[in-house]
Every structure is written in C-alpha cells, then in structure tokens.
A and B are shown apart, each in its own frame.
Chain A
Amino acid sequence: MSPRLDDEDPDRLYTVTGGRSRVDAGAVDLVTLIVSESEPSTGMQSEHVRILTLCRRPTAVVEISADLGMPVSVVKILLCDLLDTGAVTARHPSVTRVSSSPGVHPSLPDPELLKQVLVGLQNL
C-alpha cells in the first residue's frame, strides 16, 4: 500500500493544524460522532467550515477524515479547537464491558449490547 500522505503538501498540513502535532487522542475515537452546535462564522479557517457543515448531522471522525482527505490524526487536531469552543460536541462510543477474570484482557462487550447489535444485523 503506497503512503498517500506523500501526495499531500506537508506545508499545508502544517498550516491547517497551526503547527501542532499532538492531541489527546484518547479523547476522540475513530467512531466518535461529531455534531455541529453552531454555524460557520466569517473568518473561520476553511477546514473548520467544512467540518461544521458536514456535522450538521452526526458524523464519525473517520468519515470527516475521508471527506476532508486528511489523515485521522490531523482531523483530531482540527476537532480539538472546535470542541474547545463548543462549536461542536462529541458523542463518544459507549461499550459496556463485562468484568473479566483477573489477567484476562481485554474484557468483552456486555451481552445486552451484543444482543442489540445482533438484532440490528438480522434486520438488515
């Protein structure tokens, strides 16, 4: 698989992230759903405008990444600003895990959640 980030202009990625390269990745998952809480305002950087427009309906971080054509890690940095100002909110994945025996890692999703997944798949 060819590394397509090489196609990107590194200067552009540096600019859109304001030079930042690290973010609390634990806070935002690939499938965290992002929802806009406000409309884009004038003077906003174009990536933020695109995110706000896209997330009028809940949109997963990984979908934002695909739509913007930017690596997930860059999108997470962009989202930090919007989350900080309350322009978007995040709906984090919630998987209840059943307690596992000591030394057993990781724990399994709880049966009730899996039952709901099963019903959803069977209804496809």
Chain B
Amino acid sequence: MDSRTSDRDVRTPLRSTAENGLKIVIVGGFGVGKTTMVRSVSEIRPLSTEETMTRAGVGIDDAAGVQDKTTTTVAFDFGRISLNDEMVLYLFGAPGQERFWFLWDQLFAGTLGAVVLVDTRRLADSWYAIDRLEHHGTPFIVARNDFGGPQHTLEQVRDALDLSPEVPLVDCDARSRDSSKAVLIALVEHLHALSSARETTP
C-alpha cells in the first residue's frame, strides 16, 4: 500500500475541462497484482484511501456513521487516466474477499465494468468475486496475471473458473503498461459489444 501523503504537491492535476469521472474496478485476491496493474497504466502514482460503512447501511443510500460501533473500514488503491479533455477514468483496485463484498455494492456503484485478475496458483480466490459479479449483472472480463511458467491453458482456466463462453479471458503481465492497457481495451471492447447488441435487440 502506498503512502497517502506522498507526492501530493507534485501530482499532475486534472485538466480544467475535466467533467466526467468514470470507473473501472479491478478485483482479485490479495497479492494478485491489482495495484501493480493500476500503477502500470495510471497517470499518477496509485493513491490509497479508505471508506467506512456499516452493514446496516447496505442497500440504503446513506454513508456510515463514523461513530458507529459496527463501522467497518476497507482500504483501496486507485489511479487515473485522462481519456480526453472531458473524460477521466478512475481505476480502483478492490479486495475480492467475501468479507469485503458488502462494501462493494455501494462503493463501486456505477462502474463501467470490472476486470477480475486471477493467479492460476490460487484460482479459488476468484470464485466468489466472479459469482457476485454475475449475480449483480456487472459486466466483466477475466485476466490471468502471468506469474511465470504457464502450467495451464486458458481453456483449463476457463473450466476451473466455470466461466461462461461469452466472458472474455485474456493473459496479461500486470507489470507491463502495454499489457495492462490491452486488458482495459479488451474490457471496454467487450462492454461495447454487449451494449451494441442490446441496443439493436430491443
């Protein structure tokens, strides 16, 4: 986790014309490379912050009481990409563990889509996240982060994740800017295909 106070004064500000903030969420288990991927494509060094909420607040449109005894805190990293003069894309690295999920629905409402980052040595870490995304109707793709030595084919990974054929599954190296960029493009192309299909089939 990066320091919250570093390079505050040197961080590139947004353009004065920036007006539309968009979100993409990168979800995965601990150590799978979420922050690495954010860092690879972000125009700023990833920042870290936290949100506090209560379980009682789930489904209700209000923030948590900071004094509430049942308040839970979740920390998350993020970066950003200025897409053009008006649009800014924020990338959030989100913990995929079950115990954090109740925060998700509120924290990342309105996201364009999600990337599920998986480590083939720990595929089980992704099952819950995939299940919840499907249940929630949030479009997503799955990216396998290359930790060296491809022991499995993508088809084997797809089977192990019980992933439906229409969900794209790609390989990536989260340390590489080009590779991480390709993952985001794959997600947005997938979203575009889904959205175009929906538009033409009322």
Among A26-73, those with CB < 8 Å from B are 26, 29-33, 56-60, 62-63, 65-67, 69, 71-73
- On whether the beta carbons of B62 and A23 are closer than 8 Å, the reply is yes
Q: Please tell me if the beta carbons of B66 and A17 are within 8 angstroms of each other in the complex.
A: yes
Beyond A31-B23, A73-B63, A74-B66, whether A5 also contacts B112 by CB under 8 A is no
Which of B4, B21, B66 meets A10, CB within 8 Å? Answer: B66
Instruction: Find B63's partner among A14, A25, A56 (CB 8 Å cutoff).
Output: A25
Whether A108 lies near B194 (C-beta < 8 A) is yes
Size band of the interface chain B makes with A: 35 or more
B49-A71 in contact (CB<8A):
yes
Contacts of A13 in B (CB 8 A): 66
Knowing A21-B68, A62-B49 are in contact, say whether A118-B21 is a contact too (CB < 8 A): no
Please tell me if the beta carbons of B195 and A98 are within 8 angstroms of each other in the complex: yes
Knowing A3-B73, A91-B20 touch, does A114 contact B195 (C-beta < 8 A)? Answer: yes
Q: What's the minimum C-beta distance from B35 to chain A, rounded to whole angstroms?
A: 12
B151 within 8 A of A: no
Which residues does chain A contribute within 8 Å of B74, judged by CB atoms?
1, 3
Contact, CB under 8 Å: B21 / A60? yes
Chain A residues with a Cβ closer than 8 Å to the other chain, count: 63
Residues of chain B within 8 A of A1, CB atoms compared: 74-75, 95, 100
The DSSP consensus for interface residues of chain B is mixed
Q: Are B22 and A71 in contact (CB under 8 A)?
A: no
Q: B52's contact among A71, A105, A108, by CB below 8 Å, is which?
A: A71
- Is B189 positioned at the interface, with any CB of A under 8 Å from its CB? yes
Distance between Cα atoms of A74 and B50 in the complex (Å)? 10
B136 to chain A, nearest CB (A): 8
What is the minimal beta-carbon distance from A76 to any residue of chain B, in angstroms? 6
Interface residues of B in 50-105 (CB under 8 A from A): 50-53, 61-68, 71-75, 78, 80-84, 87-90, 92, 95, 100
Would you call B174 an interface residue if the criterion is a C-beta within 8 Å of the partner chain's C-beta atoms?
no
Given A24-B61, A71-B52, CB of A62 within 8 Å of CB of B90? yes
Which of A5, A58, A122 has a CB less than 8 Å from the CB of B185?
A122
Task: Give every chain B residue within 8 A of A33 (Cβ-Cβ).
Answer: 14, 18-21, 88
Known pairs A23-B63, A57-B16, A98-B199; list 14 more (Cβ under 8 Å): A60-B14, A60-B88, A62-B47, A69-B5, A72-B52, A94-B19, A95-B20, A95-B110, A108-B198, A111-B196, A120-B82, A120-B84, A120-B87, A121-B188
